[in-house]
């Protein structure tokens, strides 16, 4: 290996290690990798930001905005409303919703598709008295599977298509991914509906969970002891209704959280930190004359003199997304971030015990938050902050004219890109302009749906991927790998590339996985005198297979709290699903894209 190859290899290994550790956000890791490449002279300083004008980056941004326009038009909700009647049987329930989100995510952002169907899944689960645990993991997996089927379904497909265009002067077409991805997705959906959901631990599938909409058992909430409360001076054990479903984990006195015993004597102003089933809290508070900390009390008015009842306050649950503006902020900052529009009342963090004051907790992706706010404000603020609402709601069906216009514009953009009349980035940018002119997408909200950390990650990893190729490291790795597998049959080589990509995608961002693996797969194909296309497609499929952990894909993270899952639940359905994709995808790749 040359000095340049050694340097980029070290940078790559450190970068992958930082991705896996999760210590820093993925866009920060990408920035560090790009900076290291500039300082070592592997990437010229004037070219390090060229990735921001790369077609892949522009396409990802445009697809996110188009997805938001489709959401606002009510088009997908209209489709979903015609499916909810097919949910009487548990298996059919899983099949219909998983298939629907799979189709939707083929043409829009994965997380956007999941966000549209998540409230529908929760509402129908509540209606049929089923645990959300049987639906939400299948829903997340379906949103990932759908991305395999088109050129815009997921960032790895966009990256692979543009990489091929740069190397072979011709991109993969819009539906080139469909033959393999479609069959894989179909088999995956059938597996999930017929077998997969049964592999979810019985405790998550039990209908005996709390009958609230989301069955979250580990909320953290605070209750204050008022001056006129008869319990002042009493022992903690004298509280009425304290049971296994609701426990006092501490008491804050004079701003300091203290560990307490049943013999702790209560004083005026004590704040009880409770953990347990949120549905038991109102009755417990009423029985003991306790006040919900932070909530506007009865009779208190706002600056306009309106009482809470007049302001039409409601309680809404939401899950913090990756890249949310709340990520890493204190819960006490929520009110100021929303100009007093939202009041945080409780927090749930699946699988992790929280023993600090609620106000001192830092938001993390996957946290489920209970807030109080006006009906007209909650949705707007959740969307602005990157919080996915989990409240039961009526479907926003939109006006027939808006549905038709939104669908027509989207169909024309797809047709223009698929037929080669326009490059995909141009087709989707024109669609965005059309949505603005038709007032389907408000101008003030144009940039809100863009996931900036993903774009920064992609734009800054592209020059790193270029350095892997320009230094010859990709060719060196490919030569070594080719020497090890040269005696293996072609199907085993394709399967091995897909398997390695799957393993990387389970622990690091799928876009970063595609950037790293694409040049290695191409050079490996050239070393073996293979057609590069099947290996590039193997990378595309493998990069979309993040089913083993809740951190492998944002969709998995988002359903962890609402579904009541633990970290170890995902591999039970995810591992056989990945094996199925490997078994189905490998022969399909070789049939559609011969070696």
Q: Which one is predicted more confidently, 99 or 222?
A: 99
Per-position DSSP letters for 401-446, written without gaps between them: HHHHHHHHHHHHHHHHHHTTSS-HHHHHHHHHHHHHHTTSS-GGGT
Element (H, E) at 478: helix 473-485
Joined together, the tokens standing for residue 465 give: 């991927």
Are both 197 and 231 inside the same structural domain? no
Tell whether 328 is covered by a domain.
Answer: yes
Tell whether 272 is covered by a domain.
Answer: yes
Lowest-confidence pick of 99-113, 296-310, 370-384 = 296-310
Instruction: Tell me the average pLDDT across 311-328.
Output: 77
State how far the Cα of 137 lies from the Cα of 566, in Å rounded to an integer. Answer: 11
Tell whether 434 is covered by a domain.
Answer: no
How many domains, the chain?
A: 3
Among residues 162, 59, 76, 13, which one has the least CA distance to residue 522? 162
Encode pLDDT of 402-460 as tens digits: 778 888 898 898 888 888 888 888 988 999 999 999 888 888 778 877 878 888 888 89
Encode pLDDT of 456-474 as tens digits: 888 898 888 888 888 988 8
Q: How confident is the model at residue 65 (pLDDT cuts 50, 70, 90)?
A: confident
Are both 41 and 155 inside the same structural domain? yes
Give Cα separations from 209 to 212, 245, 281, 428, 475 (angstroms).
8, 12, 16, 44, 54
Tell whether 384 is covered by a domain.
Answer: yes
Give the pLDDT of residue 243: 63
The packing angle between helices 510-527 and 490-505, to 10°, is 160
Encode pLDDT of 290-317 as tens digits: 887 766 554 444 444 444 444 556 778 8
Residue 207 has pLDDT above 60, yes or no: no
Paired with 388 in beta bridges are: 319
Answer whether 26's CB lies under 8 Å from 460's CB. Answer: no
State how far the Cα of 456 lies from the Cα of 104, in Å rounded to an integer. Answer: 25
Joined together, the tokens standing for residue 501 give: 């990509």
Tell whether 426 is covered by a domain.
Answer: no
Tell whether 323 is covered by a domain.
Answer: yes
Among residues 215, 320, 317, 226, which one has the least CA distance to residue 267? 226
Give the pLDDT of residue 561: 74
Joined together, the tokens standing for residue 198 give: 């049964």
Question: Among 348, 365, 389, which residue terminates a domain?
Answer: 389
Tell whether 415 is covered by a domain.
Answer: no
Encode pLDDT of 123-175 as tens digits: 778 777 888 889 999 999 999 999 999 988 888 998 899 889 888 778 888 88
Among residues 61, 18, 36, which one has the least CA distance to residue 463? 36
In whole numbers, what is the pLDDT of the chain averaged over residues?
82
Tell whether 440 is covered by a domain.
Answer: no
Are both 367 and 451 inside the same structural domain? no
Among residues 568, 550, 559, which one has the least CA distance to residue 134? 559
Answer whether 75's CB lies under 8 Å from 403's CB. Answer: yes
CA dihedral over 238, 241, 245, 249, signed as positive or negative: negative
Give the pLDDT of residue 142: 95
Q: How confident is the model at residue 244 (pLDDT cuts 50, 70, 90)?
A: low
Instruction: Tell me the average pLDDT across 393-397.
Output: 43
State how far the Cα of 495 lies from the Cα of 436, in Å rounded to an integer. Answer: 44
Are both 225 and 323 inside the same structural domain? no
Give the pLDDT of residue 32: 94
First-to-final CA distance of the chain? 29
Element (H, E) at 387: strand 387-389
Instruction: Tell me the average pLDDT across 111-122.
Output: 79
Residue 397 has pLDDT above 50, yes or no: no
Give the pLDDT of residue 35: 94
State how far the Cα of 492 lies from the Cα of 259, in Å rounded to an integer. Answer: 58
Q: Which one is predicted more confidently, 119 or 27?
A: 27
Are both 473 and 588 inside the same structural domain? yes
- Tally the C-alpha atoms within 13 A of residue 359's C-alpha that lie toward its C-beta: 15
Encode pLDDT of 340-359 as tens digits: 788 887 787 765 555 567 77
Element (H, E) at 274: strand 271-276
Q: What percent of the chain has pLDDT over 90?
A: 23
Lowest-confidence pick of 181-195, 253-267, 475-489, 564-578 = 253-267
Residue 120 has pLDDT above 90, yes or no: no
Are both 487 and 580 inside the same structural domain? yes
Are both 281 and 344 inside the same structural domain? no
Question: Among 370, 389, 408, which residue terminates a domain?
Answer: 389
State how far the Cα of 588 lies from the Cα of 595, in Å rounded to an integer. Answer: 12
Q: How confident is the model at residue 81 (pLDDT cuts 50, 70, 90)?
A: low
Q: Which one is predicted more confidently, 260 or 536?
A: 536
Are both 514 and 539 inside the same structural domain? yes
Range of the domain at 233: 219-292
Instruction: Tell me the average pLDDT across 319-323.
Output: 80
Are both 381 and 492 inside the same structural domain? no
CA dihedral over 161, 162, 165, 167, signed as positive or negative: negative
Are both 195 and 319 inside the same structural domain? no
Encode pLDDT of 537-577 as tens digits: 999 999 989 898 887 788 887 788 778 788 788 999 999 99
Are both 253 and 186 inside the same structural domain? no
Task: Tell me how far apart the 2 most distant CA atoms of the chain are, in Å.
Answer: 84
Joined together, the tokens standing for residue 535 give: 């290996």
pTM of the model: 0.73
Instruction: Tell me the average pLDDT across 574-586.
Output: 95
What CATH number is given to the structural domain containing 384?
Answer: 3.30.70.1450
User: Helix, strand or coil for residue 491?
Assistant: helix
Are both 40 and 173 inside the same structural domain? yes
Lowest-confidence pick of 142-151, 342-351, 485-494, 519-528 = 342-351
Give the pLDDT of residue 99: 93
Give the pLDDT of residue 579: 96
Give the contacts of 46 (CB within 8 A, at least 6 positions apart). none
State how far the Cα of 200 lies from the Cα of 178, in Å rounded to an integer. Answer: 29
Task: Write down the number of H helices and E strands in the chain.
Answer: 22, 9
């Amino acid at each position: 290996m040359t000095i340049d190859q050694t340097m980029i290899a070290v940078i790559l290994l450190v970068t992958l290690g930082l991705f896996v550790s999760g210590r820093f956000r993925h866009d920060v890791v990408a920035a560090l990798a790009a900076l290291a490449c500039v300082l070592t002279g592997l990437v010229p300083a004037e070219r390090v930001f060229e990735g921001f004008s790369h077609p892949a980056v522009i396409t990802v941004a445009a697809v996110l905005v188009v997805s938001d326009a489709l959401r606002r038009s009510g088009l997908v909700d209209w489709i979903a409303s015609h499916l909810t009647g097919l949910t009487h049987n548990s298996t059919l329930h899983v099949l219909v919703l998983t298939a629907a989100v799979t189709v939707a995510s083929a043409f829009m952002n994965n997380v956007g598709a999941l966000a549209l169907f998540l409230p529908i899944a929760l509402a129908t689960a509540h209606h049929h008295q089923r645990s959300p645990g049987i639906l939400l993991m299948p829903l997340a997996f379906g949103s990932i599977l759908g991305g395999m089927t088109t050129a815009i379904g997921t960032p790895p497909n966009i990256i692979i298509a543009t990489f091929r265009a740069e190397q072979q002067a011709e991109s993969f077409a819009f539906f080139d991914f469909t033959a393999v991805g479609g069959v894989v997705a179909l088999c995956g959906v059938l597996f999930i509906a017929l077998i997969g959901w049964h592999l979810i631990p019985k405790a998550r599938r039990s209908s005996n969970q709390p009958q609230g909409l989301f069955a979250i058992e580990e909320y953290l909430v605070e209750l204050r002891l008022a001056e006129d409360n008869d319990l002042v001076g009493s022992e903690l054990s004298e509280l009425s209704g304290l049971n296994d479903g609701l426990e006092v984990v501490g008491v804050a006195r004079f701003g300091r959280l203290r560990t307490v015993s049943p013999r702790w004597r209560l004083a005026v102003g004590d704040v009880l930190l409770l953990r347990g089933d949120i549905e038991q809290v109102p009755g417990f508070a009423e029985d003991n004359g306790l006040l919900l900390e932070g909530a506007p009390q009865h009779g208190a008015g706002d600056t306009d003199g309106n009482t809470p009842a007049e302001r039409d306050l409601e309680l809404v649950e939401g899950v913090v997304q990756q890249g949310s503006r709340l990520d890493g902020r204190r819960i006490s900052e929520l009110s100021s971030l929303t100009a007093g529009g939202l009041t945080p009342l409780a927090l749930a963090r699946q699988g992790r015990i929280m023993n600090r004051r609620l106000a001192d907790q830092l938001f993390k992706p996957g946290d489920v938050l209970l807030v109080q706010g006006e009906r007209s404000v909650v949705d707007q603020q959740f969307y602005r902050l990157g919080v996915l609402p989990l409240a039961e709601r009526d479907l926003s069906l939109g006006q027939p004219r808006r549905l038709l216009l939104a669908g027509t514009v989207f169909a024309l953009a797809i047709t223009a890109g698929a037929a080669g009349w326009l490059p995909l980035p141009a087709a989707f940018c024109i669609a965005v302009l059309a949505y603005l002119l038709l007032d389907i997408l408000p101008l003030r909200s144009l940039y809100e749906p863009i996931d900036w950390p993903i774009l920064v990650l992609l734009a800054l990893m592209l020059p790193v991927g270029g350095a892997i190729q320009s230094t010859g490291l990709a060719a060196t790795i490919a030569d070594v790998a080719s020497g090890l597998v040269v005696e293996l049959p072609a199907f085993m080589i394709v399967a091995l590339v897909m398997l390695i990509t799957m393993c990387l995608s389970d622990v690091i961002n799928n876009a970063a996985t595609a950037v790293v693996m694409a040049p290695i797969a191409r050079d490996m194909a050239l070393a073996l005198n293979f057609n590069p296309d099947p290996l590039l497609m193997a990378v595309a499929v493998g990069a979309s297979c993040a089913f083993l952990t809740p951190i492998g894909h944002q969709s998995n993270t988002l359903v962890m709290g609402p579904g009541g899952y633990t970290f170890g639940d995902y591999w039970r359905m995810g591992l056989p699903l990945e094996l199925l994709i490997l078994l189905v995808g490998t022969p399909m790749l070789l049939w559609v894209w011969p070696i």
